[in-house]
Amino acid sequence: MFPDLEIPTIILLFGDKIPNHLVLHSLLGAATIGTVLSILVTVLVYPPLVSSLFRIEKSKIERRCRLSAILVFSAFLGNISHVGLDVVVHIENAIFWPFLTNIQSPVVSALGVQNASLMIHALMGAIFLMLLIKKRTNLFEGLLVE
Ligand SMILES: [Zn+2]
C-alpha cells in the first residue's frame, strides 16, 4: 500500500502535470525509499495506531514490529509486490523509472483494463477470504499483528 501514498502527494504538489505513479511505483524506488518508509511507519506509527484503534495490547504489536531482518524483508517484498501487481492493473507504469518511464502494461494490453483489474481483485479477494477463514477466532489480532 505504501507506494500509493505518492499519488495524493504528487497530485497535491503538481496537480496532473506529471504522472502520479512515479518513484515509489518503480522497482528502484519501491526497493529503497518505499522499503525504508514502510519500516519507519511499521516501527514508529503502526503499534500505537493499531493498539488504539483495535484495542490490541501495544507491547504485543511492538514485539512483532521490531526492526529485524524479517521486517526489512517483508517491507521490501510488500513494496515490490505492490509495484508488480500495479503493472497488471494500470495501463501505464513507471516500473523502470528513472531509466524508462511510462511502460505499457502487456497484461492490460492483452486483457483490457477491466479484465486485468477484475483478475487482480478476484485474486486479492480470494487471498483475503482465505486469511479471514484461517484467522477467524481472533480476527483483528490475527490479521493485524500475527
Ligand atoms: Zn499502486
Residue 105 DSSP code: P
pLDDT of the chain, 146 residues: tens digit per residue: 778 888 899 899 998 888 888 899 999 999 999 999 999 999 999 999 999 999 889 999 999 999 999 999 999 999 999 999 888 888 888 899 889 877 888 888 888 888 988 988 999 999 999 988 888 888 778 778 87
Distance of CA 56 to the CA centre of its chain: 23
**Alpha carbon of 59 to ligand 1 centroid (Å):** 31
- Distance, CA 87 to ligand 1 centroid (Å)? 9
pLDDT, residue 107, reads: 83
Identify residues whose C-beta is under 5 A from ligand 1, the ion: 3-4, 86
> What is the pLDDT at residue 113?
85
Residue 136: predicted pLDDT:
82
Among 21, 1, 2, CA closest to 11? 21
Q: How far is the CA of 140 from the centre of ligand 1 (A)?
A: 24
- The pLDDT assigned to 43 comes to 97
Residue 142 CA to residue 134 CA, distance in Å, equals: 9
The C-alpha cell at 14 is 503538481
Distance 120 CA to ligand 1 centre (A): 13
Question: 100 CA distance to ligand 1 centroid (A)?
Answer: 18
Residue 33 alpha carbon to ligand 1 centre in Å: 14
Domain boundaries, the chain: 2-144
Rounded distance from Cα 26 to ligand 1 centre (Å): 10
